[in-house]
Every structure is written in structure tokens, then in C-alpha cells.
Amino acid sequence: MVHVIKIGGNIIDDELKLDDFLNRFAKLKGPKILIHGGGKLATSLAKDLAIDQQVIEGRRITDTETLKVTTMVYAGLVNKTIVAKLQAKSCNAIGLSGVDGNSIQSVKRNDLTIDYGWVGDVESINTGFLQHLIDNGMVPVISPITHDGKGNLLNTNADTIATEVALALSETNEVNLRFCFEKLGVLTNPELDGSWLRILDRKEYEYLKDQQIISKGMLPKLENAFRASELKVTRVEICHADYANEQGESFIGTQIL
Amino acid sequence: MVHVIKIGGNIIDDELKLDDFLNRFAKLKGPKILIHGGGKLATSLAKDLAIDQQVIEGRRITDTETLKVTTMVYAGLVNKTIVAKLQAKSCNAIGLSGVDGNSIQSVKRNDLTIDYGWVGDVESINTGFLQHLIDNGMVPVISPITHDGKGNLLNTNADTIATEVALALSETNEVNLRFCFEKLGVLTNPELDGSWLRILDRKEYEYLKDQQIISKGMLPKLENAFRASELKVTRVEICHADYANEQGESFIGTQIL
């Protein structure tokens, strides 16, 4: 079983939480891949540099200056900080952006109504390269910066990358895809931490969406999770970072069916 | 023959010059590794963020905020920009910092008179890992950010990294180490571009140093070059970026003997 773990921004922003999560991730046995977002660091750096940020429906509009900021923060500071910490925990991590070894190629989003700028939608995963790394005991740590094969970097959604990486590896592996964040799973009441669902299927998801019980920010994550689950990935879960490495009875989270 | 090429900051700072250099580098046949510095980008980002920069004898004092800046610029923006451009030129580049695959471990500099901060001196190269990558047709592109194995990133001199990588690979390969920059080689008169030496040996170097003909900034580069040449590296050269891929008669530069 290959573990593909996505870790969200709220954990990355907090040094203690990140360290705690990385301890758990390092303990996870067998082949594994970590995909990280960037958190609020990119936003605060852009602010310090007086680069206006525009976010439409949860997606950051990425002009040239914002692309530089996200590349510096995601592919540079966040990625290398995580890899250094994992190396210190005897986990042979290798930080990758989509450019490295052509691991993730994407295509610049062409939206007729909104110009997202340097935003990429995943087009292909270099499965052979990632498989080769994990077969050799390495642990890829992937930042959400990809490229178009024409020399341009593209800012890409980290949940989508996790989904596509999990799907690509599912061709020849059992894969467990986990989206880890700061909640216990999919909540039926955002005000109640204890209201997490143990399982969620498409039908119930559509119902919760219609009732506007599932909050807006969760929708893209859940669309990714259902895509992974329905197409090929063995097991897809949404859970708290504290349960990233838990298996069986001791695992808490929402399994996507 | 493995080509180990170091490219200096003045080329990186200029988009056209960088692109021209990368065209040449991509054309270079056989196994190869690129090591890059960071140029003035880190200095200008630090200035924009109002982080005071202190440089003593050509070495940047690296406090915690400056380490973040150099990691963002070198390991993030510069490294990924170069790798994206090389991928577009059908060169299967993989960007690495010393943390990635534990490729370069270093030790925090312990100087009794000057506190350099988060500056590292190279301790070990993961030769097997680099060899494995080049044996598989990949082209490592190395940024000058290393780590201490205890979870800390360290700012490290790129000329030294190039030297140590070349020495490590020399155990089992013929290696050609080239330091490429904006001059035609080692000049005997810094005002005269045409005053480059075809060859330079230790004796002549000591003489030029005593006469203060070789400028201060060149001294650490030349110490690295002589170390590489005298210990093990097959061929060591200092040349203009325009000659990075030239061989034989068409090569212009200074060979270190």
C-alpha cells in the first residue's frame, strides 16, 4: 500500500503542529508521498511586498509577481523546511516541484470569464519517476508548483495534485489517499468538532451540498476525494493531521466511499 | 566524462544571458550537473522586506530572516526557473537542494571571531544518489542551500559545492569542473577583458596574489579551483558562460593546473 498524504495550510503555518505531523508522517511504514500546500505564508509575503492578492472562489489569481511569491514560498521555503525536518527524522525525503524530473506537467487554465493568470490544471504525472523514487526507498515531498513543458511555472491546487498522483500510482499499486487538515473529518455542523462523519458516499454528499451543510471551502476537496475514490484509488480519507499515520481501530476520520 | 558546471550570479540576474547559457548547457552531451548561485535577487528581496544585509569578506551573514530569503530565492525561484527552462529544452533536469535525498550535508560554521549565522561548510556529498541520478539520464540542478542533518537549513557557498560535488564524483568518474561567469577567465588586468590566462598553476597564482593582481573576489573561487585540480578532478576551468559547452580548440578560458 502506497500512502499519499496531503497536508493543509493551517498545519504548515504552525511550527509545533507541523513538527508533530511530520513525526507522525515519518513513522508511517512503507512507500509514501507527501503533498503540501502553502498556507498563509504566501499571502503574508505578498502583503509585505505590497503585491495585491485577489482570490476568486478560493483560487488565487496568479499574476507574474504572485507566481514568484508562490514559487519562493511553496517550492522554496515550505518544501525545503519540511524536507530538512524529515531528513532529521531518518526519513529520506526528496523535495519536488512538478518541474523536477518533469514529475507533474500541467496546462495554463484557459477560462473565458476569469483570467486566473499563471494557474495550472494537471495534465500528466510522471508515474515511472515517482514509482522509481519510492521503489528506492525515497519519500517524495511535492510542492504545488508545476510547469507547462514550455518553460513556464504554474501555481496548482495541492488537493488536485494529491488526487492525480494517487490516481497515477493506482495503476500498479494499492493506494491510500489521505487529505489531512485541522478538523476531524467532514463535519455535518462546522461549529461542532465532534460532528464528523465516519463515512460519506456520493448520495449523502449531494444531499449535504444541496442543504448547504458542507461549507464552500470543502467542496473542491470533496470533489477531488470522490474523483479519486470513484476512479481507482483503494481508500480515500479526510482526517485531522493528528491521525495521519493511524490505521484500523485507532484511525479517526471520514472515509469517502 | 561528467561535466560539473557552476554558473555565477551575474548570468542568473539577466534573463537573456541565463537563457543563452541554458541553451548551451542543454546542448552539452553526456552526464552533467549544474550548480547555481543566487545573484542579486536575494539581496534585492531582503531590501524590499527591510531585512538588513551584512557581508563580511564576500560572505553573507545569514540570520534567521536572511536564511528564509536565501532559501526562497535560491531553492525556490532561481532553482525552479532554471529547471523549467531546461525541461523545455528537452533536458531532464531535477532541482535539488542539499536536503533533497540528503545530497549535501554541511556543518554550521563555528568561527570564533565572526558569527556567520546559518552558514554551512560542506561535510559530505551523497555521491551514490547523484551518481544514480546521472546514470538514469537525469540532470541535477543544485541550489546552494544545504542542511545539517538536524533539521536546519544552511546557506552554503556555491563554488564550494561545485568543488565538493566534482571531487566526490571523481572517485569513480573523469570529471570536468567549470566555473562559468561573466569574464573570459582569470584576468591579469581586471580592466582588460582580453587579458585572460590560458593556463594558471599554483606558483603563478601565488605570484599574482602577492602582487594583488588577482582581485579579492576571485580568491575563494581560485582556492576552490586549485583544491579540485590538485586533489582529483580531471580538468578544472574558469570561463565565460558563453563557452560553457565548448570543447577543444573552440574553448576559451583559463585551465587550472
Quick: pLDDT tens for A73-115.
999 999 999 999 999 999 999 999 999 999 999 999 988 898 9
Give the distance from residue B111's alpha carbon to the nearest chain A alpha carbon, in angstroms.
24
Cα of B25 vs its chain's centroid, Å: 14
Q: Which of B80, B92, B94 comes nearest A71 by C-beta?
A: B80
Q: Residue A118 above 90 pLDDT? A: yes
Pair B184, B253: CB distance under 8 Å? yes
Q: Which residues contact A167 (CB under 8 A, 6 or more apart)?
A: A125, A227, A228, A231, A232, A233
Cα of B124 vs its chain's centroid, Å: 16
ipTM of the assembly?
A: 0.95
Residue B73 DSSP one-character state:
I
> How far is B109 from B130, CA to CA, in rounded Å?
25
Outline where chain A has alpha helix (H). 9-12, 15-27, 41-48, 64-70, 79-88, 127-135, 158-169, 202-210, 218-231
Q: How confident is the model over B121-137, as a mean pLDDT?
A: 97
Q: How confident is the model over B149-169, as a mean pLDDT?
A: 97
Residue A119 DSSP one-character state:
B
Chain A neighbors of B68, CB-CB under 8 A: 77
Tens-place pLDDT, residues B25-59 = 999 999 999 999 887 899 999 999 999 988 887 67
Tell me, yes or no, if A72 comes closer than 8 A to chain B by beta carbon. Answer: yes
> How far is A228 from A166, CA to CA, in rounded Å?
7
Best mutation site among A51, A64, A87 for testing chain B: the one with the most B CBs within 10 Å? A87
Tell me, yes or no, if A147 comes closer than 8 A to chain B by beta carbon. Answer: yes
pLDDT at residue B58, as a whole number: 66
What is the pTM assigned to this prediction? 0.96
Give the distance from residue A245's alpha carbon to the nearest chain B alpha carbon, in angstroms.
21
Burial class (CB in 10 A: 0-12, 13-18, 19+), B192: exposed
Domains contained in chain A, CATH given: 2-256 (3.40.1160.10)
Tell me, yes or no, if B196 comes closer than 8 A to chain A by beta carbon. Answer: no
Chain B neighbors of A101, CB-CB under 8 A: 92-94, 138
